[in-house]
Amino acid sequence: MNSHTTRYQHRSRQFSLLSLIFLSCLCCIDNIEAADANSTVQMSNKKLVYLVSDLRIPFWDIMWRGIKSRATSLGYDVEVYSAENNAKRELEFAVRVLKDNVSGIIVSPTNSSACETILKFSKPAGIPVVISDIGTDGGEYVSYISSNNHDGAYQIGQILTRKLADAGWQSGRVGIIAIPQMRENGRARTAGFMQALSEAGIKGADIKQQVTFSYRETYDYSEQMIKKYPDLRAIWLQGSDRYKGALDAIADTGKTEEILLTTFDAEPIFLDLIPQGILIGAAMQQPYLMGEEAVTTMHRHLNGETVEKEKQLPVLAISKENISEKLPTIRRNVLGIESH
């Protein structure tokens, strides 16, 4: 059980367990509530599991909150298993969950390849799987909920190219520190962003793919590109968590206010950095919304409804100009901050 499980979740699980015991007793004593509803989910089996690569990452935590919120509202027990980015643990959780014969699995795999393995195991067990982000290399699943990375990247690209144009830096280059391009979302982001650059006639510099996703890596990549391309006028990070490395590299190379920084995804602090102009903008996925949508899709599937095989949710392209307007949406869907 992940340490992030809340007390509420503990109580919910305890309640579910008691409910199960209670229902079992009812079945034994009165033999009522016979198994007459193959078309509908039985209360005793109404449990969803969320397999996630690493709940320590805010994005996944926000998505988990969306899942838990929607699942609870739909009457499901829900448990989360965080592999902490460990493939072995991810598989162990998958095997264990499959043995528990849960109603459905929502998975955000460590990578699309591992997801295919999970799908391969779940298929013979007959447990439906909804993929929430990352995607899969193959296999059978109920639905794949993802962000429209291409369009999000395109829009943030357009924001950046407008800024460059406003500054008269159209001749400058834009460097990209990308997530691994082996990932489908990485390739989509690069394509959308490059489309915007292309349309604006702005040249690209290197695309450096992250491996360790560390601060140092981001700092080094940024410094290397700054030094390599004197005409570098902007850096686009395809992730949000190591934005500080890029800012420090720009600052340390004396390029503050000479090189613009933009990101994909967001951190809570961005709500301050964007209005200050430290960050030009960010393409913000909506993990909370994705979590909710994943549960909704699963629920519909379990209730025999036809669901879309792939569903892409919009990515919010936020800049200084629209952040105020989009703030409630950002707070809920991007940052998972529910207003009570």
Footprint of other proteins (CB under 8 A): 87-88, 90-92, 95, 113-117, 120, 137-138
Give the torsion through C-alpha atoms of 170, 173, 177, 179, to 10 deg.
60
Residue 26 CB, shortest distance to other proteins, in Å, is 32
Q: With respect to other proteins, which residue has the nearer C-beta, 162 or 187?
A: 187
Residue 177 CB, shortest distance to other proteins, in Å, is 25
How does DSSP assign 117-159, residue by residue? HHHHHHHHHT--EEEESS--SS---SEEEEE-HHHHHHHHHHH
Distance separating alpha carbons of residues 271 and 323, to the nearest angstrom: 8
Distance separating alpha carbons of residues 11 and 14, to the nearest angstrom: 5
Q: With respect to other proteins, which residue has the nearer C-beta, 133 or 292?
A: 133
Q: Strands across the sheet with 77-82, in order?
A: 77-82, 47-52, 104-108, 129-132, 143-147, 310-313
Q: Which amino acid is at 226?
A: I
Q: With respect to other proteins, which residue has the nearer C-beta, 79 or 116?
A: 116
Residue 85 CB, shortest distance to other proteins, in Å, is 12
In the chain, alpha helices (H): 7-30, 58-74, 87-100, 112-125, 149-167, 184-200, 215-228, 243-252, 270-276, 287-302, 323-329
Q: With respect to other proteins, which residue has the nearer C-beta, 87 or 337?
A: 87
DSSP state of 315: P
Q: With respect to other proteins, which residue has the nearer C-beta, 16 or 112?
A: 112
Residue 287 CB, shortest distance to other proteins, in Å, is 24
Q: With respect to other proteins, which residue has the nearer C-beta, 115 or 178?
A: 115
Residue 246 CB, shortest distance to other proteins, in Å, is 29
Residue 135 CB, shortest distance to other proteins, in Å, is 13
Q: Which amino acid is at 267?
A: E
